[in-house]
Amino acid sequence: MSYLENGATHRSMFRLMPPLHHDADPNRSQVLAHIAENMQCDMGRAIRAFNSMRHPKSKVLVFDKVHRMWKGCDWLPAHDDSKDAMILIEHRALERRVAAMDSELRKALKEIKRLNKQMADLYSDAKEMGDTSEKDEDWFKKMREVLETTDEKPSKSRLPKPANTIESMVAQAWS
């Protein structure tokens, strides 16, 4: 909250500001001219005040997306019909935002359900793999036992001579 020289705040001074156009060029901006006139200051200070008042945390000045104008946060048109129309427009805009948020929420919930199902499937697969790993361990133990018993080197007397040695080929040729 910034206090002006007269003790007022930006909110108290500009909350009822009528809709005005803003331009990137400070000399053509109606909003900056209005702020500079009411605060009786130079354009640089008016720009800083405008940036402060339009900040999302303060929201002293709000942007009307329909008419593309800046207005005070509490400003209402002078005619009752216009007030009702403006309130209806804002209400419909809020309804659209709520509907958009609702659809985003539904998408997020659907994604959460999908991820939960995927986690459950992975968990059940991991459980099944845990059961088979015990079977695999038993198989590996049996194989180790078999390999340990067959690791003994056989004696040469038990092995038959291979049929394709040079000696056997020469013996066959002379016979």
Give the tens place of pLDDT for each residue, 14-65: 888 888 988 889 899 999 999 999 888 899 988 988 888 888 888 888 888 7
Place of tokens 């702020």: 35
73 or 30, greater pLDDT: 30
CA 146 to mean position of chain CA atoms: 56
pLDDT at 117: 92
| Same domain flag for 62 and 98 | no
109 or 64, greater pLDDT: 109
Task: Enter the pTM of the model.
Answer: 0.46
Assigned domain for 163 exists:
no
- Per the structure, the complete domain to which residue 20 belongs is given by 10-72
142 or 80, greater pLDDT: 142
| Same domain flag for 64 and 83 | no
pLDDT at 106: 94
Number of domains, the chain? 2
| Same domain flag for 67 and 102 | no
Report which residue type is found at 119: M
pLDDT band at 76 (very low <50, low <70, confident <90, very high): confident
CB burial string 76-92: b at 16+ within 10 A, e below: eeeeeeeeeebeeeeee
Cα–Cα distance between 92 and 101 in angstroms, integer? 14
Last residue in a domain, options 72, 92, 115 = 72
pLDDT at 5: 67
pLDDT at 140: 75
pLDDT band at 162 (very low <50, low <70, confident <90, very high): low
Assigned domain for 113 exists:
yes
Assigned domain for 60 exists:
yes
CB 15 within 8 A of CB 74: yes
| Same domain flag for 84 and 137 | yes
Assigned domain for 157 exists:
no
Give the tens place of pLDDT for each residue, 152-161: 555 555 556 6
pLDDT at 103 over 90: yes
| Same domain flag for 66 and 92 | no
| Same domain flag for 94 and 45 | no
Helix then strand then coil, % of the chain, to nearest 5: 60, 5, 35
Assigned domain for 156 exists:
no
